[in-house]
A and B are shown apart, each in its own frame.
Chain A
Amino acid sequence: MSPRTVHVVKPGLETSVQELPGRVGFLEQGFPVSGPFDPWSFRLANLLVGNVRDTAALECQMIGPALRFEAEALVAVTGADMMPTIDGTPVPMWRTLRARAGQHLELGAARSGMRAYVAISGGVATEPVMGSRAVFHMAGVGGRALKAGQSIPLGVPDGEARLAAVPEAIRPVFPSDRRWLVEALLGPNDDWLSEEAIGMFFSSDWTVQAKSNRTGLRLTGPAFSFAHRALHKSPDHGQDPSNIIDHGYPLGAVNLAGQTPIILVNDSPSTGGFINPFTVASAALWKLGQARPGETLRFRPVDRAEAGELRRALDRATSPDVLVAA
């Protein structure tokens, strides 16, 4: 029997192994949680190949990899449209595919969205580091980005999965007008901004900068004005109005460094010395993983109750019963 591995022919752009819930419990030592940037597409890819939805799979960014299967497996590609082919023949995304030993799965450049997910039956079986297979590739935690010639170990599938598809109506939507509506909550440091700045944040267009990646999404937009607390504070906080004594950084926080908002995402710093006036709702984080440089974000204020409804809706959208037989 051939080994259950996948051979990396071409690595793509910082393709990495990701797993949910990520590396939980080590933020206090400075380790980010990592995990898939778009957990919605990630979970659907796993369901399509019969895996538990949180199983380790590959995250591809902008330019996908070329992979050779050394053993037969089911595979699915979801997320950004990277026009996958098997042995040169176009194959559909959002659907279970069969790959035979020796066949090549190749992904191209993303036509819409930023990140595609490749899930394989049995899951990726790299060695967990501190409880997780999720990779923080810039620091080499849990591994690095894929390299050509590398062999990716696979787990053993739990029985034979049925061939399935995700109907178009229930897939995550990547807006054709390149404008994303992102739900966000006030806090933790909204009281460091002026009332006008809070209103301005929710009524302005924010452009995603090219200098955005898994450690943060940099935004371009209007300037912020500050509240008394930011302007008249103990010198321990630092000189800039946006400086604060080092504190924890929540996932999805809109971090204000000077006048540049940086949304803190899966591989972002765990702590630092800038304020976080707003935080993206956890159920909207997937949008940040698919927004491309040059695209526009608009933020819609939500409260905790609505963030909870969004979370439950996303949970239902990533349950096995959304699949249809294919």
Chain B
Amino acid sequence: MLYEEPRLYPGGDRAIEVELGDGMNFGLNFVVHRLVGALRAARISGVEDLIPELASLQINYDPDRISFEDLGTEVRRIHAELGAEVTGELPSRLFSIPVHYFDPETTACIGDYRSTHPDKVPDPDLVGRLNGLPDRPALARRHAATEYWVAALGFWPGLCSLLALDPRTRIVAPKYNPPRTWTPKGAIGVGGALTCIYPDRTPGGYQLLGQTPAPIYDGAQRLPAFRDSLALFRAGDRVRFVPIDRDEFDWIRSEVEQGRYEHERVDYQVFSVDRYLDWSRSVGVSAKDRT
């Protein structure tokens, strides 16, 4: 559900939370990114950080340069100019991320967890069963059959929340309870209706389906994709998962280790939400109601 007016909540004396609606869906998230883009373009003095999230954004500001009230007025004015309709377009880069589904490292990680939690159904079996898929190849095909929208980044440097764009490929999964103490770097996980890629070896709670050898985070900034930031994605990018076998996985990993790997990325595309919503309806399910 989209609000007519943004709802502003102070986060101390240096931040504002701006809620644009109540729910988790693509249309609402697009409106968040459209407002963030307009706020960034407005170059408001005193704004330090803009954090787009699923249904809201956070603005960090310097209160000695702009007041909460004045910043709120600017946000409402820009929001009113954009309107409350889910319409418009945004530049959007498209990344191809190679994935070895059901790879040995995430399999070992799942096995490690099951050694202390023996009732845990192995992740691919659980996710396949809950989504009515007959076997692992069907699960991999379903997961790789859509482009994903980078809805938000956060919690850990480079950790991304990906929303599947094709309504026919919906996969949902519960989160681990209790969470894992470790996850392999590059693991692909699903939790709720989101997919994530683990940027580094960290704890985690999403069900693991595979692993990418292509880094989405590079602490040493060795690869060309990381010249400006240690993190690969920006919100509003799109991701396509490309299934690979072990030989290709190992080859890509060696290219990464030698500092030669170049991420496959196209920069020239613009994402039209109007055309997307038309298409999404035409394939049978309203994207507005999707989670």
Contacts and interface: CB of A to CB of B under 8 A. Distances in A.
Given A141-B230, A188-B17, A308-B63, A246 B154 contact: yes
B188 interface: no
Given A30-B158, A139-B219, A248 B51 contact: yes
Interface stretch (B53-61, B108-116, B122-130): B53-61
A308 B13 contact: yes
A245 B24 CA distance: 7
A279 B53 contact: no
Contacts of B199: 30
Contact of A188 (B10, B51, B53, B200): B10
A30 B219 contact: no
Contact of A311 (B13, B221, B233): B13
Given A246-B53, A247-B53, A308-B13, A141 B154 contact: no
A280 B11 CA distance: 9
Contact of A130 (B17, B52, B229): B229
A234 B51 contact: no
B155 A29 contact: no
B23 A27 contact: no
B22 interface: yes
Interface stretch (A44-52, A96-104, A217-225, A266-274): A266-274
Contacts of B15: 188, 248, 250-251, 279
B206 to A, nearest CB: 13
Interface string B223-259: 0000001110111000000000000000000000000
A185 interface: yes
Nearest to A236: B24
B268 interface: no
Contacts of B156: 30, 139, 269
B53 A248 contact: yes
Contacts of A136: 157
Nearest to A21: B48
A31 interface: yes
A132 interface: no
A75 B233 CA distance: 41
Given A187-B10, A253-B12, A272-B154, A236 B230 contact: no
A321 interface: no
Given A130-B229, A140-B219, A308-B63, A188 B154 contact: no
B155 A141 contact: no
B56 A248 contact: yes
Contact of A248 (B1, B58, B219): B58
Interface string B1-17: 10000000111111111
Interface residues of A, number: 45
B12 A281 contact: yes
Listed residue (B52, B199, B229) with the most chain A CB atoms within 10 angstroms of its CB: B229
A270 B155 contact: yes
B49 interface: yes
Contacts of B53: 245-248, 271
Given A29-B234, A30-B159, A234-B23, A271 B13 contact: no
Contacts, number: 160
B14 A250 contact: yes
Contact of A246 (B152, B158, B230): B152
B271 interface: no
Listed residue (A250, A272, A308) with the most chain B CB atoms within 10 angstroms of its CB: A250
B237 to A, nearest CB: 11
B209 interface: no
Interface string A19-33: 000001111111101
A269 B291 contact: no
B13 A246 contact: no
B63 A250 contact: no
B155 A30 contact: yes
A236 B9 contact: no
B21 to A, nearest CB: 10
Nearest to B234: A29
A129 B231 CA distance: 12
A271 B51 contact: yes
Contacts of A308: 13, 63
A189 B51 CA distance: 17
B153 interface: yes
Nearest to B17: A188
A119 interface: no
Given A236-B291, A245-B23, A245-B54, A28 B10 contact: no
Given A282-B14, A311-B63, A24 B234 contact: no
Contact of A28 (B13, B49, B56, B68): B49
Interface of B: 1, 9-17, 19, 22-24, 48-58, 60, 63-64, 68, 152-159, 161, 199-200, 219, 221, 229-231, 233-235, 291
22 contacts: A25-B48, A27-B154, A130-B230, A136-B157, A139-B200, A141-B219, A186-B10, A187-B9, A187-B10, A188-B15, A189-B9, A234-B1, A236-B23, A236-B24, A250-B11, A250-B15, A250-B17, A250-B58, A270-B155, A279-B10, A279-B12, A311-B64
Given A270-B154, A271-B58, 7 more contacts: A28-B235, A29-B153, A236-B24, A246-B54, A269-B154, A304-B63, A308-B13
The 7 closest A-B pairs by CB, nearest first: A248-B58, A271-B154, A250-B11, A279-B12, A188-B9, A250-B15, A307-B13
Interface of A: 24-31, 33, 129-130, 136, 139-141, 185-189, 233-234, 236, 245-253, 269-272, 276, 279-282, 304, 307-308, 311
